Amino acid sequence: MPFDLVDRYAKWRWEVVWDLTPEAPTYRMTNGEARRFVKLAPSGNALPDEAQRLRFAGAWLPCPRVIEYGSDGDTDWLMTEELPGVDATKHPWFATEPARLARTLGEGLRHFHSLVRVEECPFEFGTETAVRHVKARLAAGLISTPDAVERLLATVPEPGAEVVCHGDYCLPNVFFTGDEITGYLDLGRLAIVDPWWDLACGSGSVTRNLGPDYEQDFFQGYGIAPDPERIAWYRLLYDLS
Q: Which domains does the chain have, with CATH numbers?
A: 3-81 (3.30.200.20), 86-240 (3.90.1200.10)
What is the per-residue pLDDT for 18? 87
What is the per-residue pLDDT for 46? 85
Distance CA(163)–CA(41), nearest Å, equals 29
Q: Quick one: CA dihedral 60, 66, 71, 76, positive or negative?
A: negative
Locate all alpha helices (DSSP H) within the chain, ordered by sequence. 3-8, 47-57, 93-96, 98-112, 127-139, 146-154, 196-210, 215-222, 228-240
H/E element, 29: strand 26-31
> CA 148: distance to chain centroid?
22
Categorize the per-residue pLDDT at 20 as very low, low, confident or very high, splitting at 50, 70 and 90. Answer: confident
Q: Bridge-partner residues for 40, per DSSP? A: 77
CA distances (Å), 238 to each of 112, 152, 204, in order? 19, 11, 11
pTM of the predicted structure, to 2 decimals: 0.93
Question: pLDDT (tens digit, 9 = 90+) per residue, 47-105?
Answer: 999 999 999 999 999 999 999 999 999 999 999 999 999 999 999 999 999 999 999 99
What is the per-residue pLDDT for 107? 98
